[in-house]
């Protein structure tokens, strides 16, 4: 279809008008009128600040399917309350001084009443000058000072993604800019405001929207945060426990190279160490997830991510008990455990375990509870090295 110059200009002006709308007032525009005082009071502003980030977490949020981002921002997903994405430098039309004024206005009008979302690690080396976001009186404002000041006055802070939660890839060695996660920054600045970590590279959109909605409805108690401040609803079960390859693990069927059928633990799968509901929730509208697509879990929801060395280097799953014998396959009445498997995952005491009478099924099942797993995990030097918890700066 051909457009005249007049038609093209009219279409452009209409498009510009839509793009110029602030998310903060999107709900007013959608309903065709100004909200009442009660409705305005029920609006909960969200400030989304990206520091050392790749924007993958924002893209993941935009892929939310139930509810969609549009419904989450325009509809009432919370009874009597409405989320308002007041500031998001990547998504908002405003930029430069205009965007900075929006940010300052929201902080001034809603001090102590906004939700602060951080996306990305924060560089603290040399007073944070390696990451600046906007200017104030002609001087650049560091991401470090933004996270510190906005986090101190927020209703709650949500660290979205592994980088914001634990430092992630920007904090990997040698880490010249001294990147850290939000929680570590809060410890450094003695900030006691609530913080929720939603790790993942990137995190599932359900984890983001679900955690914020639960926080506003029931508070921190409803989230039931674990020792890493992650919501228990999404991060309480090991990926290994719900993995579709779990049966191959029990039978001792391990893939030796990519493309082979079997458990991926020898190819560096971090599922035995990682807590997340990826196998149940899955991605892209519930279509698929990493391991189902044939790739080992990289453990992106754990504090040690991205680990030392190669992502495909096996780690020691201390909470696992490998079967001594496996169910019969083919002509074999029983099959002994593969000694190389034990060597690959660093198991101890295999010889004593295999000294018993051969049986047709796995000699011992996984019986470790999550609390026991945490204790064993902290007690294992090999696993500590694999997860290399970063010291507080």
Give the residue numbers marked as catalytic: 54, 57, 163, 201, 240, 243, 263, 269, 278, 290, 297, 300
CA distance 139 to 149: 17
* Cis before 202? omega within 30: yes
Beta bridge partners of 190: none
Residue (of 133, 154, 153) closest to 143 by Cα position: 133
Torsion 376-381-382-384 (CA) sign: positive
Burial of 8 (C-beta count, 10 Å sphere; 0-12/13-18/19+): exposed
CA distance 44 to 83: 5
Residue (of 186, 237, 184, 222) closest to 391 by Cα position: 184
Phi-psi region of 197 (alpha: psi -120 to 50; beta: other; left: phi over 0): beta
In angstroms, what is the C-alpha Rg of the chain? 25
376's tokens: 């064993």
How do strand 335-336 and strand 325-326 relate by DSSP bridges?
A: antiparallel
């Amino acid at each position: 279809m051909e457009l005249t110059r007049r038609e093209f200009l009219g279409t452009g002006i209409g498009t510009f008008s839509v793009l110029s709308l602030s998310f903060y007032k999107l709900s007013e525009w959608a309903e065709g009128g100004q909200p009442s005082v009660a409705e305005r009071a029920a609006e909960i502003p969200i400030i989304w600040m990206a520091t050392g980030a790749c924007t993958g977490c924002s893209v993941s949020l935009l892929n939310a399917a139930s509810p969609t981002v549009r419904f989450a921002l325009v509809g009432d997903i919370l009874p009597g309350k409405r989320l308002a994405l007041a500031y998001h430098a990547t998504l908002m039309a405003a930029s430069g001084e205009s965007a900075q004024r929006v940010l300052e206005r929201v902080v001034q009008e809603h001090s102590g009443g906004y939700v602060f979302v951080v996306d990305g690690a924060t560089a603290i080396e040399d007073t944070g000058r390696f990451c600046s976001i906007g200017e104030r009186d002609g001087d650049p404002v560091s991401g470090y000072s933004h996270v510190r000041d906005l986090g101190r006055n927020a209703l709650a802070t949500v660290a979205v993604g592994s980088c914001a939660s634990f430092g992630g890839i920007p904090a990997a060695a040698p880490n010249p800019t001294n990147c850290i996660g939000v929680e570590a920054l809060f410890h450094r600045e003695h900030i006691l405001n609530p913080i929720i970590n939603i790790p993942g590279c990137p995190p599932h959109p359900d984890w983001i929207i679900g955690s914020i909605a639960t926080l506003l409805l029931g508070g921190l108690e409803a989230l039931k945060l674990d020792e890493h401040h992650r919501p228990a609803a999404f991060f309480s079960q090991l990926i290994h426990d719900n993995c579709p390859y779990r049966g191959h693990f029990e039978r001792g069927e391990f893939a030796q190279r990519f493309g082979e059928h079997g458990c991926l633990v020898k190819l560096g799968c971090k599922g035995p160490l990682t807590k997340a509901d990826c196998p149940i929730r899955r991605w892209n509208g519930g279509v698929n997830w990493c391991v189902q697509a044939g790739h080992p879990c990289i453990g992106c929801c754990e504090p040690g991510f991205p680990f030392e060395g190669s992502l495909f280097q096996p780690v020691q799953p201390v909470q696992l008990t490998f079967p001594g014998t496996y169910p019969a396959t083919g002509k074999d009445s029983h099959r002994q455990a593969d000694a190389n498997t034990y060597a690959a995952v660093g198991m101890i005491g295999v010889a004593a375990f295999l000294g018993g009478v051969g049986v047709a099924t796995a000699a011992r099942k996984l019986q470790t509870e999550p609390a026991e797993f945490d204790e064993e995990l902290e007690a294992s030097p090999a696993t500590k090295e694999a997860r290399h918890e970063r010291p507080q700066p």
